[in-house]
Structure 1
Amino acid sequence: MSARHRMPCRVAMLAALALANLAAPVAQSEESSRGIPDLVADPLLTRPPVLDAGAVLPGDEAPIACPARVDFTQALSLTDAVDTALCADPQAMAAWANIKLQAATVGEARAAYLPTLSVSLGRQNSDTRYPSFSSSNSNVTGNSSYVALNWRLFDFGERAANRASARDLLAAAMASYDAALQKTLGATVQAYFDAVTARAAYRARTRTAQLAGETLAAAQRRELNGVTGRSDTLQAQTALARAQLAELRAAGDRDKTRATLVYTLGLPAGTSIVLPQNSALPLKQDIADLAEWLDVAEARHPAIKAAKAQWEAAREKITSVRSQGLPTVDFGVNFYQNGYPNQSLSAVHSNTTVVGVTLSIPLFEGFSRTYKVREAQARADQSEAQLHDAQRETLGDVVKAHADAVSSLASLDASATLLESAKAALVSSRNRYEHGAADILETLNAQSALADAEQERIRSEADWRAARLRLMAAAGVLGQQAILNIDVPASAANSAVMRRPDQ
């Protein structure tokens, strides 16, 4: 093979080597992978910044840091619980991986605008025998090469529609990840306050059992002194047994809610967690009207944003499918040395260059294109219905959460008044009983009323704390900052969060 004949092949090989050198150093993927590594990790710049900077919750400045650094030997705060849950939630992990998947799809759509280049090198031995004319036998050994450059110059919107659809699906993936975070936040807040409430209820039941024991001791003293009969002691014993039974049930609820919290945080079963001993008095805040919360959820909730983006992507897909049945214009350059691919080696050295523009016009596909378009239209209708369903479900959650928040706010003062009255009534009744001015039934009734009042107060405080955060999660605007401010005196900014949910 002469130097002149080898020149095109060498040029192609040198071009490939140069491309490899420009791509060095070889980019490493985030996870170990098998096979040949990529020369360039993201040559078309499709990777969204959130994958490198990290996700940021609404109202926060710093991104979510994983893995969460939490010391479980100390009292578990709500912020630590949220950090742990966000880093361990499998749905959030799957949504994060889906962002990478859709970013790769965007890259495929952008790559359709670029030319393709391929090189084929081969060495062949062509042995031809003619039994009747042995003088015509031939045996040729040589090299062959093939270089092809193809570039689509024009279509009727197929690539543009595919690129727009991929971009919408990437936006939907990022919104779906945010929606998964909001869902995890809501579940974690609920599980945390359920555990805190159950623990407080158990402590209240323990105090009730202690009071019942003190009442029984007072009844026994009065019986020994001959002031009262055996019936007072028996009734006090019954009240103590009832209080102890309620204490045991409260202990069971405490253990169950704590196990649920451990499961929600994604921790191994049996992990020991410590809940705070005392919590600050709940901060009362005004709540914006339901219409404002609904407007905010409609505009900002990531689940609705994701459904809208998926609908837009489905509509773009209709254009793409229609365009596939329209003409296309392609430019091609092919170089053949010593024959053509999949053919015998040429006996004479040859160089063949083919340059051309191809117009492809699909004439008839057996009506398959019609039904592909119908399929794309049906998928778009399906996506639109899913959007309406997401809107209805999300707004319905906002309505429920808003009603819970309003109700829990109204019950705060009532439960506080009830508790103070019950405490005063029990003190008065016990004093009256000690001095013989009241019977045992009055004391036991006051004791039972105090136990119920304590339970109502505990439930009211926990419901108000959880309802505020759950409302923000339902509207899609809950962040770490709102959690930190839950029991901190309201600043102007914090008050605005509850009064103006759109800020």
Structure 2
Amino acid sequence: MNGKKYLLPLCLLGLLVQHAAFAEGLSQLVDDPLQTQPEQLQSGATLPDASRISCSQSVDFSQPLTLSGAVDTALCNNPQIRATWAEIKVQSGVVGEARAAYLPTISGSVSRLRDSTVYSAGSQAPGVTSTGNQYYGSLNWRLFDFGGRAANRESANQMLLAAIAGHDAALQKTMVTVIQAWFDTLTSQAEVDARQHIAELARQTLIVAQRRESLGASAQDETLQATTALAKAELTAMRASGDYQKNIALLRQAMGIDLATELTLPRQPERVIPSDIHDLNEWLKQAEDRHPAIQEARAKWAADKDKIISVRSEGLPTVDLTAHMSRNGFPNQGLSSINQTSKDIGITVSIPLFDGFSRQYKIQEARAQAEQSEAQMEDTTARIMTDVVKAYADARTALNVLTASQQLLDAAQKSVQSVQRRYDKNVADILEVMNAQSALADAQQQRIEAIAAWQSARLSLLANTGILSQLSESSG
């Protein structure tokens, strides 16, 4: 009994699910009967790593802003991305028009007419009035056109691919901008911390110098030098703070959020594990195969080549099947005096004979446009390949500097600790302390710049190769 109790609700639920699926399929069939919409429009935009762009969840700015949070916000707010997404929809419609050219067109009309015939006053014939319905239908179907429709269809397909690549390029550009802004802000925040640390060391040195002066262990000159060093360190820290405020404002702008939004970022990692750079030829091959700008230029060139065939076919004969059916007369004419039905079917061959040489110049224009697109594709490819070579060289250099900068920082920190201990015990003078602190400040700056250079070079290499994604969040 218990099984039978739930059988009916389960059956109803199954019917509802089937009905919903059928309704969804019917809606898609009505909206896109020729199946022209690409997968991107149906499932949503994706990043190069196949992760989807979701704008349903907002980022909590009260927490430290992660790189993925900054990227998600920028991708959802960028107007250029929305424009390129709309361009995909436009080109999907163009593809539908090109496919529709293979199908017949059918039209019909129904008219309710009232005809009145009135004779002159001298005539003995009475007036005649008739009322009736008039029906008319026609069918036109192009059977052959020397490849014009095929060329238009292929050109539309290529332009759709170009629109998709253009959208990917807009995603890529936005991600490069916001990721670079995020890393710049992270770097400037690390510089603020480093400069404040140096200022704190200078403050501690001043305290020791003042104590030594009060005990008669050192002259007033050392205290003045320590005071000067502290003022210089605080001034440098203020400038670093100003750079940080500027970079965080640029990050807000890149994300497309209110400039008054409070943002905090996580700290720059002290240790960065570099990743493998691989071989240059591998990066070049990936860039040629995957970079959206190259794909877009390549698709536009293919579309322009198909346009030549389309324009040429417009001056060649076409073969159409035509059929008409009328009852009680024809449209824009009066009712037939007798009820009659007229039907005709035939083959129409249209042969363009002379158009004032305009077709010849249109073909020349199409060829020139294809040549221009080819040159633009080659220029885009060469430019991107050059950028990849430069980014690869920068990444190799940054990788070597990254290791050396860590060794320099470790040595400078040990030197400061050693000289401070000796200064506290009155076995070192103020110049040794200041020199060690200056060397530490330089080593910290070198380390920060090395990490920033590595992150920037790695980002540039990924971006110029066309494989940038949210996986780039890892600083290594």
Task: Give the drift of 1:93.
Answer: 1.8
Question: Closer, same or farther in 2 for the Cα pair 1:26/1:131, shift >3 Å?
Answer: farther
Matched, 1:192 2:172: no
After TM superposition, where is structure 1 displaced by more than 4 Å over at least 4 residues in a row? 23-29, 135-138, 484-487
8 Å contact from structure 2 (residues 187, 268) kept in 1: no
Which of 93, 99, 105 matches 1:116?
A: 105
Task: Give the drift of 1:156.
Answer: 0.6
Question: Closer, same or farther in 2 for the Cα pair 1:83/1:134, shift >3 Å?
Answer: same
Matched, 1:302 2:292: yes
Q: State the distance in 1 between where 2:331 and 2:274 align.
A: 80
Alignment of 1:227-306 (within 5 A): 227-277=217-267, 279=269, 281-306=271-296
Deviations 1:157-210 (A, max 9, x none): 000000110111111112222222222222222111111111111111111111
Q: State the distance in 2 between where 1:188 and 1:25 align.
A: 38
Which of 316, 319, 324 matches 1:334?
A: 324
Q: State the distance in 1 between where 2:424 and 2:108 align.
A: 104
Q: What is aligned with 1:99?
A: 88
Unaligned 5+ residue runs, structure 1? 1-22, 30-38, 488-503
Greater shift, 221-230 or 173-182, is seen at 221-230
Matched, 1:71 2:60: yes
Q: State the distance in 2 between where 1:345 and 1:111 align.
A: 35
8 Å contact from structure 1 (residues 68, 83) kept in 2: no
Q: State the distance in 1 between where 2:263 and 2:124 align.
A: 94
Matched, 1:386 2:383: no
AA in 2 matched with 1:87: C
Greater shift, 253-262 or 134-143, is seen at 134-143
Which of 294, 301, 304 matches 1:311?
A: 301
Instruction: Specify the SS of the correspondent of 1:40.
Output: helix
Q: What is aligned with 2:207?
A: 217
Deviations 1:456-485 (A, max 9, x none): 1122123323422331121011233x3355
8 Å contact from structure 2 (residues 169, 292) kept in 1: yes
Deviations 1:238-278 (A, max 9, x none): 21111111111111111111111122122222222221135
Task: Give the drift of 1:106.
Answer: 0.9
Task: Give the drift of 1:366.
Answer: 1.0
Question: Closer, same or farther in 2 for the Cα pair 1:359/1:369, shift >3 Å?
Answer: same
Question: Closer, same or farther in 2 for the Cα pair 1:27/1:268, shift >3 Å?
Answer: farther
Q: State the distance in 1 between where 2:215 and 2:42 align.
A: 79
AA in 1 matched with 2:445: Q
Deviations 1:26-78 (A, max 9, x none): 9769xxxxxxxxx8101011111222223333344x43333344222222222
Instruction: Specify the SS of the correspondent of 1:126.
Output: strand
Task: Give the drift of 1:288.
Answer: 1.8
Task: Give the drift of 1:405.
Answer: 1.2
Q: State the distance in 2 between where 1:380 and 1:171 align.
A: 17
Greater shift, 324-333 or 456-465, is seen at 456-465
Matched, 1:451 2:441: yes
Matched, 1:476 2:453: no
Question: Closer, same or farther in 2 for the Cα pair 1:152/1:135, shift >3 Å?
Answer: farther
Question: Closer, same or farther in 2 for the Cα pair 1:28/1:133, shift >3 Å?
Answer: farther
Q: State the distance in 1 between where 2:303 and 2:265 align.
A: 46
Q: TM-score, normalised by structure 1?
A: 0.84
Task: Give the drift of 1:107.
Answer: 0.8
Task: Give the drift of 1:445.
Answer: 2.3
AA in 1 matched with 2:151: A
Task: Give the drift of 1:132.
Answer: 6.5
Q: What is aligned with 1:397?
A: 387
